[in-house]
């Protein structure tokens, strides 16, 4: 599957300029959803350059708040994210992107960063216990 630009460079700069980079290290929160299943795969951060690169290449780029640099998701792993949709929220400090995930989204090798069996708690549990 081939990545396609979501915006021209001019449109991308306009969109990047409209966001509010009020999170750590001057970023917006980027929520990444599988375009088919709607599963949340990971949460990353984008600075203005990462937003522009994402929109103009169609491949997800982030700002690493630990390594203090832009990274192309998949640059070492090959686990690219092909971006099909980009939305910002009502106050411009968060975006949701819908992607086709190549391989694993998580550095642990899991498809999603949220799929550890220890991480899941369902309301069902207590209702069963009390039911």
d(C-alpha 107, C-alpha 53), whole Å: 21
Residue 107 annotated as part of some ligand binding site: no
Closest approach of its own copies to the CB of residue 90, in Å: 5
Residue 126 vs residues 24, 94, 123: alpha-carbon distances, Å: 36, 33, 6
Yes or no: say if 97 and 83 are a contact pair by the CB < 8 Å rule.
yes
Reading the block at residue 23, the tokens are 């999170």
Question: Residue 28 phi/psi, 5° resolution?
Answer: -105, 155
User: Is 113 annotated as a binding-site member?
Assistant: yes
Q: Count residues near its own copies (CB under 8 A).
A: 48
Tell me the closest approach of the beta carbon of residue 20 to its own copies, in angstroms. Answer: 12
* Cβ pair 97, 85 in contact under 8 A: yes
In the complex, what is the shortest distance from the CB of residue 78 to its own copies, in angstroms, rounded to a whole number? 19
**Known binding site for Zn(2+): residues?**
90, 106, 113
**Known binding site: residues?**
89-91, 93, 106, 113
Interacting residue ranges for its own copies, rule: CB under 8 A: 4-8, 15, 22-24, 29, 31, 33, 37-40, 42-43, 55, 58, 83-91, 94, 96, 106-108, 110, 113-116, 119-127
């Amino acid at each position: 599957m081939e990545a396609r630009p979501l915006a021209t460079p001019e449109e991308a700069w306009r969109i990047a300029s409209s966001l509010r980079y009020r999170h750590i290290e001057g970023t917006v929160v980027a929520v990444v959803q599988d375009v088919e299943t709607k599963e949340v795969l990971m949460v990353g951060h984008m600075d203005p350059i990462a937003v522009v690169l994402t929109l103009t290449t169609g491949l997800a780029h982030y700002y690493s708040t630990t390594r203090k640099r832009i990274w192309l998701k998949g640059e070492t792993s090959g686990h690219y994210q092909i971006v099909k949709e980009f939305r910002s929220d009502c106050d411009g400090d968060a975006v949701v992107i819908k992607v086709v995930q190549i391989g694993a989204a998580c550095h642990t090798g899991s498809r999603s960063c949220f799929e550890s069996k220890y991480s899941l708690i369902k309301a069902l549990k207590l209702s069963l216990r009390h039911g």
